[in-house]
């Protein structure tokens, strides 16, 4: 599980790039960019929380049942890829909805 930080870095990278992208799209439509940044950042925090819970669960179960360490490592990696995939899917859907939103009046 020495590569756990790579999943966290991937989630951080995706979150900050999405926040910048959402803010830029909101500004181009006439909305406040600061408010648009909140959603990707909150989603990033939720995804990182899920990844940390997966990590802690795998460690605790691995310590409690040493003969299950290899299957738990697989569950940890697959779980993190699932968290990243769901994060990207939700961000993609939110971005499409934001693109379809009407421009701000005024």
Q: What is the pLDDT of residues 32-65, one digit of tens each?
A: 888 899 999 999 999 999 999 999 999 999 999 9
Cα-based distances in Å from 6 to 10, 48, 49, 56, 74 = 6, 11, 15, 16, 15
3-state secondary structure of 101: coil
Contact (Cβ atoms closer than 8 angstroms) between residue 29 and residue 104 = yes
Reference 36, options 13, 18, 49; nearest CA is 18
Q: At a CB cut-off of 8 Å and minimum separation 6, what does 34 contact?
A: 23
- According to the model, what pLDDT value does residue 106 have? 60
What letter would DSSP give residue 31?
S
């Amino acid at each position: 599980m020495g590569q756990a930080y790579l999943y966290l870095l991937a989630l951080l990278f995706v979150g900050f790039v999405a926040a910048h992208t959402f803010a830029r799209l909101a500004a181009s439509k006439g909305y406040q960019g600061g408010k648009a940044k909140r959603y990707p950042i909150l989603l990033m925090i939720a995804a990182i929380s899920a990844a940390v819970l997966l990590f802690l669960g795998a460690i605790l179960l691995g310590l409690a049942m040493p003969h299950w360490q290899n299957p738990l490592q697989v569950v940890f990696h697959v779980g993190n890829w699932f968290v990243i995939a769901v994060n990207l899917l939700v961000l993609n859907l939110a971005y499409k909805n934001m693109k379809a939103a009407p421009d701000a009046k005024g």
